[in-house]
Amino acid sequence: MKRNIFFIFIPVIIHSVLCGCGKTPPERIESVCRIPLGEKSEFKVEKRARYGIFGKHEVLLETHCTPLSFLIWKVDMIFTDISAGEVYDALRESWQTSFTSGQNCCELPGSTVKITPDYTHGPSALKVSVTDRKAAAIYQTENSSPQAEKNRKLYSCQRDIALIEEALEHFFTDTEMYPRVLPELRENILLRPKWDGPYLDNIPADPWGKKFHYRTAADGKSYELYSRGENGTDKIR
């Protein structure tokens, strides 16, 4: 009889080591700082950063989405200004997940919580990654598809165009006209007296390795900017 009781308690002990002891962890972490795991994001980007509040602490939030359906499959919380002990305390208080000091992973029925150092944000910064396993499986499938890579290049192209357009507007504010050619954003080629750049450190090529099409009106008061895309016939703005 004693032998049977011993084997009954072994799984309980293992579960306590993985998920802590004393409190019952949630079945599944459904949201992180009001970011719903496994649901569709309103922002059609694969990664988005913003600040939020977790417990009593300000954290940098990085939301990771699948590239085609934009399901939120992972949220990273980055703690930069508190100790490791305070991070563990915040997790215990918010989720009833009793991490013990030094423990870096907890497997819940529908999600995984993992703690890792994040030296890019400081020598003592910690990253708490919360992954929805069902959405993560969808990410793995979508991430390898040709359409995902095509979409990434399209979004990258649009971001670069927005960056160039911002520089063009600063140029126009100073000189009261748009540049004749894009390299004027980086260097005062025509020796304009009101030029106050550089307005861009470099002029990017589009994601297909080609120059952006740029043409200005004769009076310098308007312009046209776009990428011809992969096939050379598109007008991506």
Helical spans, DSSP H, in the chain:
2-19, 84-95, 133-143, 146-175
In terms of domains, do 181 and 111 share one? no
Q: Tell which of 122, 143, 164 closes a domain.
A: 143
In terms of domains, do 126 and 78 share one? yes
Q: How far is CA 181 from CA 8, 190, 225, in A?
A: 76, 10, 11
Residue 88's SS3 state is helix
Residue 132 covered by a domain: yes
Cα pseudo-dihedral 160, 161, 165, 168, rounded to 10: 80
Model pTM? Answer: 0.70
Q: Which residues contact 163 (CB under 8 A, 6 or more apart)?
A: 200, 204
In terms of domains, do 54 and 137 share one? yes
**Residue 236: band (very low, low, confident or very high) from pLDDT cuts 50, 70, 90:** confident
In terms of domains, do 41 and 153 share one? no
Which tokens go with 230? 């992969």
Residue 232 covered by a domain: no
In terms of domains, do 23 and 95 share one? yes
Residue 84 covered by a domain: yes
- State the burial class of residue 19 (Cβ atoms within 10 Å of its Cβ: 0-12, 13-18, 19+): buried
DSSP secondary structure code for residue 32 in this structure: E
In terms of domains, do 132 and 204 share one? no
Q: Which residues contact 156 (CB under 8 A, 6 or more apart)?
A: 207
Which tokens go with 209? 């390795």
**Residue 99: band (very low, low, confident or very high) from pLDDT cuts 50, 70, 90:** low
In terms of domains, do 28 and 42 share one? yes
For position 185, which CATH number holds? 3.30.700.10
Q: Tell which of 119, 143, 167 closes a domain.
A: 143
In terms of domains, do 127 and 38 share one? yes
The tens digit of pLDDT for each residue in 172-190 reads 999 999 999 999 999 999 9
Count CA atoms within 13 Å of residue 59 on its CB side: 27
In terms of domains, do 130 and 150 share one? no
Residue 237 covered by a domain: no
The tens digit of pLDDT for each residue in 23-56 reads 445 668 999 999 999 999 999 889 999 999 998 9
221: domain range?
A: 146-226
In terms of domains, do 17 and 106 share one? yes
Q: Tell which of 100, 118, 143 closes a domain.
A: 143
In the predicted model, is pLDDT for residue 2 greater than 60?
Answer: no
Residue 121 covered by a domain: yes
Confirm if 59 and 76 have CB atoms less than 8 A apart: no
Average pLDDT, the chain: 87
> How far apart are alpha carbons 80 and 78 in whole angstroms?
6
State which amino acid sits at residue 92. Answer: R
Q: How many domains does the chain have?
A: 2
**Residue 100: band (very low, low, confident or very high) from pLDDT cuts 50, 70, 90:** low
In terms of domains, do 40 and 138 share one? yes
Q: How far is CA 190 from CA 174, 180, 184, 193, 225, in A?
A: 14, 9, 8, 9, 21
Confirm if 208 and 166 have CB atoms less than 8 A apart: no
In terms of domains, do 40 and 134 share one? yes
